[in-house]
């Protein structure tokens, strides 16, 4: 007699099987879907954990989440944390400003000058010179 750790209904089983056969699936979703299928086939938690290279407790958590949430457990829940204050458009405006000619009397943009000018032009409400440097560093800019 095979001990079943999980019973997928027919609709969920076909959905999970089609997901596993896709090539454009993230590793997290692939591992979770494979684990669900193997548990449905009667594999033990330890053998499934070894197959998908995770801890035994992780597979047990996935099983419990499936029983509570259904197939929604395949996707990550939204992460907590503060949302970014400066969006992509504002970053582009700051980068474009750094690539423009500096104000009269300056040979080049300093980070403090750039941050002050971005606030003055209403690109952002507030901007420190350190954060302006981080924005430019991510764009591979050598203008400062």
Does pLDDT of 1 surpass 50? no
Q: Are residues 59 and 92 in the same domain?
A: no
Residue 82 covered by a domain: no
**Under 8 Å between Cβ of 58 and 39:** no
Q: Are residues 70 and 96 in the same domain?
A: no
Query: Total structural domains in the chain?
Result: 2
Which position has the token pair 């992460």?
A: 79
Query: Residue 49's domain spans which residues?
Result: 10-74
Residue 126 covered by a domain: yes
Give the separation between CA 97 and CA 16, rounded to whole angstroms. 49
Does pLDDT of 25 surpass 90? no
Segment 89-118 shows an average pLDDT of 94
Q: Are residues 93 and 120 in the same domain?
A: yes
CA triple 26-28-32, angle to 5 deg:
120
Segment 13-19 shows an average pLDDT of 89
Poorest-confidence range of 7-21, 52-66, 93-107?
Answer: 7-21
Instruction: Report pLDDT for 64.
Output: 92
**Under 8 Å between Cβ of 144 and 95:** no
Q: Are residues 59 and 115 in the same domain?
A: no
Q: Are residues 121 and 65 in the same domain?
A: no
Final residue before a domain boundary, out of 27, 49, 74: 74
**Model's pTM, two decimal places?**
0.58
Quick one: pLDDT band at residue 142, thresholds 50, 70, 90?
low
Residue 131 covered by a domain: yes
Final residue before a domain boundary, out of 30, 50, 74: 74
């Amino acid at each position: 007699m095979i001990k079943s750790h999980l019973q997928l209904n027919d609709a969920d089983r076909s959905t999970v099987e089609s997901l596993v056969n896709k090539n454009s699936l993230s590793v997290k979703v692939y591992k979770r879907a494979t684990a669900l299928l193997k548990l449905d086939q009667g594999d033990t938690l330890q053998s499934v954990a070894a197959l998908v290279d995770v801890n035994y407790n992780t597979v047990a958590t996935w099983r419990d989440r499936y029983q509570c949430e259904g197939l929604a457990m395949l996707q990550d829940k939204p992460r907590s944390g503060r949302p970014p204050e400066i969006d992509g458009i504002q970053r582009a405006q700051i980068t474009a400003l750094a690539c423009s000619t500096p104000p009269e009397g300056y040979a080049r943009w300093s980070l403090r000058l750039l941050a002050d000018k971005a606030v003055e032009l209403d690109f952002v409400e507030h901007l420190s010179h350190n954060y302006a440097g981080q924005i430019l560093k991510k764009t591979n800019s050598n203008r400062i």
